Amino acid sequence: MCHPGDRVTAQHFDVLIVGAGLSGIAAAYHLQTTAPTKTYAILEAREAIGGTWDLFKYPGIRSDSDMYTLGYSFRPWKNPKAIADGASILDYVRETAEAFGIDRHIRYRLRVQRARWSTPDARWTVEALHTTTGETIAFTCGFMILCSGYYDYDAGYTPELAGRDRFAGTIVHPQHWPAELDYTGKRVVVIGSGATAVTLVPELAKKAAHVTMLQRSPTYIVSVPSRDRIADWMREHLPEKVAHGAARWKNVLFGLGFYTFSRRHPERAKRFLIKQAAKKLAGSADVATHFTPTYKPWDQRLCLVPDADLFDAIRGGRAEVVTDHITTFDETGIALRSGKHLDADVIVTATGLKLKLFGGIELAIDGARVDPSQLLVYKGIMCSGVPNLAFAVGYTNASWTLKADLTAQYVCRLLAYMDEHGYTWCKPRRDASVTEEPLIDFSSGYVQRAIEQFPKQGSVRPWKLFQNYALDLWMIKHSKIADSAMDFGKA
């Protein structure tokens, strides 16, 4: 095992996995379980396992999906909390890597910068920067799986905020939360209305004098129990693996059912969601102004709050929501378009994340640089014209790990097929007649700011993303590997 700071020598592997977060550990598990003769390594830019869950340290960080689906299919989630805190999730990922010996395959502090494919050699040459020594180290591999997510780990998104230099207090972005920040007894304004903001507000309200969530427009916010009583009953009365599988499928089908209902009957879904919020708030806030979005449910991701903690903080007077636009920062807080002023000691810019495709890795095929925006995604896993490369990306309407698991299983089937037939490379072949569509069909700002740089999806299979785990499960496990859209060859 390579420890942080160790010098790494160039090696060849059958498979290289980029990223040691949830997806990377899943890919490694499936690879070493179903293809134990394959050599592999995981290249991780940071100093530790965990990806997002190791990066984000802001107060109250937690899952926005239940852990029976965010957890792995092959390792039951045993913590009684279905909506879990970040530290518990990080422990789970690290313990999983250790339990299956995956941690021994990780090379830390190696930030992959570029990868060059050679058709005559049927291999990738991967260049990684050692973030401690500054040395560029080359690896080669027959197949590469990118498990780096699609967020920029270096910086979050902060819009231009007029007058921010005038503010005398502290301004912090959640992605780089300072451990030494003490907000006890202080007035805090959290700018934003997404998952990060609704997580931060009730947690900060436990110690702050008062917390204000300042939003330009409302988001659908849904209260869910932090514990899953049905799953608890299953774990008590059924064998562990059976209980885990049953709880997982229960939540998959419930989530898929509500998503389908929302898409088919958006007004009915909207009324239901707003009614639930109003019931939890019990008259403590103007629901029409602060909790009634203008868009349809699932045009953006729903925000989950466990045990109504955000609503409880508002109802208890420890927090409030203000829907308005910022005019300018000043020395003591924020002046709003309405003429209102928010006094603040601490301002948190929970204004979103930046998207970064493939972790910012530059790809080239036989000397020609790849433009990702010109590619079409195949089965949500590979890209047209790009050989021996898969990438893990989660669902927009369900947990990340569900799709990451399927991606890893598909790659293992693909590798087995290639070995069986003596192929050394494969690549999806684009159909010119397929109509392009955006890869992520969300109106959220973080998506719209970067989506043009991403590959596209198509209007029909196998280029279409259905955001449906049950359909994808059948496709990944049972559909033909050698379909009409996939080319195979030998070096």
Single-letter residue type at 183: Y
In this predicted structure, what is the pLDDT of residue 444?
Answer: 63
In this predicted structure, what is the pLDDT of residue 275?
Answer: 97
Residue 285 has, within 13 A of its CA and on its CB side, a CA count of 30
In this predicted structure, what is the pLDDT of residue 442?
Answer: 66
In this predicted structure, what is the pLDDT of residue 443?
Answer: 60
- Cβ neighbors of 2 (< 8 A, separation 6 or more) are 8, 106, 107, 108
In this predicted structure, what is the pLDDT of residue 4?
Answer: 42
pLDDT in tens, 428-442: 999 888 988 888 776
**Percent of the chain scored above 90 by pLDDT?**
81
DSSP 3-state of 401: helix
Helices 400-421, 22-34: axis angle to 10 degrees equals 30
Q: Give φ, ψ of 326 to 5 degrees.
A: -80, 130
Residue 485 has pLDDT above 50, yes or no: yes
DSSP 3-state of 216: coil
Is the model more confident about 455 or about 102? 102
In this predicted structure, what is the pLDDT of residue 2?
Answer: 46
Rounded Cα gap, residues 385 and 255, in angstroms: 34
Rounded Cα gap, residues 129 and 109, in angstroms: 8
Mean pLDDT, residues 171-179: 94
Rounded Cα gap, residues 142 and 388, in angstroms: 7
**Percent of the chain scored above 70 by pLDDT?**
97
Mean pLDDT, residues 455-463: 91
In this predicted structure, what is the pLDDT of residue 355?
Answer: 80
**Cα 435 from chain centroid (whole Å):** 27
In this predicted structure, what is the pLDDT of residue 397?
Answer: 81
pLDDT in tens, 331-383: 999 999 999 999 999 999 999 878 888 889 999 999 999 999 999 999 999 99
Rounded Cα gap, residues 238 and 231, in angstroms: 10
> Which residue ranges form the domains of the chain, and what is each CATH number?
12-154+354-489 (3.50.50.60), 164-229+262-349 (3.50.50.60)
In this predicted structure, what is the pLDDT of residue 10?
Answer: 60
8 pLDDT band, cuts 50/70/90, is: very low
Residue 301 is given by DSSP the state P
Min mean pLDDT across 96-105, 200-209, 314-323, 435-444 is at: 435-444
In this predicted structure, what is the pLDDT of residue 343?
Answer: 98
Single-letter residue type at 193: S
Residue 7 has pLDDT above 50, yes or no: no
In this predicted structure, what is the pLDDT of residue 1?
Answer: 45
**Cα 114 from chain centroid (whole Å):** 22
pLDDT in tens, 440-457: 776 666 667 767 788 898
Rounded Cα gap, residues 261 and 60, in angstroms: 31
Rounded Cα gap, residues 91 and 182, in angstroms: 25
491 pLDDT band, cuts 50/70/90, is: confident
Rounded Cα gap, residues 22 and 400, in angstroms: 8
In this predicted structure, what is the pLDDT of residue 301?
Answer: 87
6 pLDDT band, cuts 50/70/90, is: very low
Residue 3 has pLDDT above 60, yes or no: no
Q: Give φ, ψ of 111 to 5 degrees.
A: -95, 110
In this predicted structure, what is the pLDDT of residue 382?
Answer: 97
Q: Is the backbone of residue 50 left (phi > 0), alpha (psi -120 to 50) or beta?
A: left
Q: Token digits for 285?
A: 């806030």
**How would you write 106-169 as a 3-class SS string?**
EECCEEEEEEEEECCCCEEEEEEEECCCCCEEEEEEEEEEECCCCECCCCCCCCCCCCHHHCCC
Q: Token digits for 173?
A: 């972005």
- Cβ neighbors of 431 (< 8 A, separation 6 or more) are 458, 463, 485
pLDDT in tens, 110-150: 999 999 999 999 999 999 999 999 999 999 999 999 999 87
| Average model confidence (pLDDT) across the chain | 93
Q: Give φ, ψ of 180 to 5 degrees.
A: -85, -5
Rounded Cα gap, residues 206 and 256, in angstroms: 34
Residue 476 has pLDDT above 90, yes or no: no
Tell me which residue of 346, 64, 332, 37 sits closest to 178, measured CA to CA.
Answer: 346
Rounded Cα gap, residues 278 and 272, in angstroms: 10
pLDDT in tens, 214-267: 999 999 999 999 999 999 999 999 999 999 999 999 999 999 999 999 999 999
In this predicted structure, what is the pLDDT of residue 300?
Answer: 87
